[in-house]
Amino acid sequence: MAAHRRPEIPFSDAPRATCRWCGDSILYASGPRAGKPDARRRWHPECVDAYNQSDPREARRRVRRRDRGRCADCGLDTYALRRKLRGRGSHRKLRALGFQPRKSLWELDHIVPLVDGGSHDASNLQTLCKPCHTRKSARETAERAGRKRAEAELRILERADTLLADSERILAGLEQP
């Protein structure tokens, strides 16, 4: 399973009164049945929260509630733009601004990309309008390509140094009869 997808449920076949996430027994906390197995439940409330935190759809919902559709880069309120451009000709106007009309006007963005070691944590997520997200993604891709190119050049130089040192050692051995 891909790292960006929701993780597998480890105890998916667990019987009732056993948490499907952690595998521990679920017991009544209070009342006349306190300490006895609660057969009505299949998840601890804490485990449900942990499982939902790993869901990319839930991350998008949390960021939408937190940022309310406002772009972190340019400050554009995508919800207000959608309301303002309702009606005839809205598709043409949205395309002129760099948006795709029938889709969301904002993107969930990782501040530090996952490929560079970022996480799905809420502090690493932000709202960007589509044009800003496209620019940021292109810039990050170009930076990554530059880093890879520099690393490849460094490996070539290190290999050349090694070959030069080896050839000098061989020549020194031939000259000492």
Residue-wise pLDDT tens digits, 28-37: 988 999 999 8
Same-domain check for residues 113 and 135: yes
Number of domains in the chain: 2
Domain that holds residue 45: 1-54
Note whether 67 and 43 are within 8 A (CB). no
Maximum CA extent, the chain: 97
Positions of the chain with pLDDT lower than 70, given as ranges: 1-6, 177
Same-domain check for residues 77 and 32: no
12-50: b or e for each residue (b if 16 or more CB lie within 10 Å)?
eebeebbbbbbeeebeeeeeeeeeeeeeebbbbeebeee
Same-domain check for residues 45 and 83: no
Average pLDDT of every residue of the chain: 86
Same-domain check for residues 96 and 158: yes
* Domain-located, residue 61: no
**pLDDT in the model for residue 1:** 40
Same-domain check for residues 80 and 137: yes
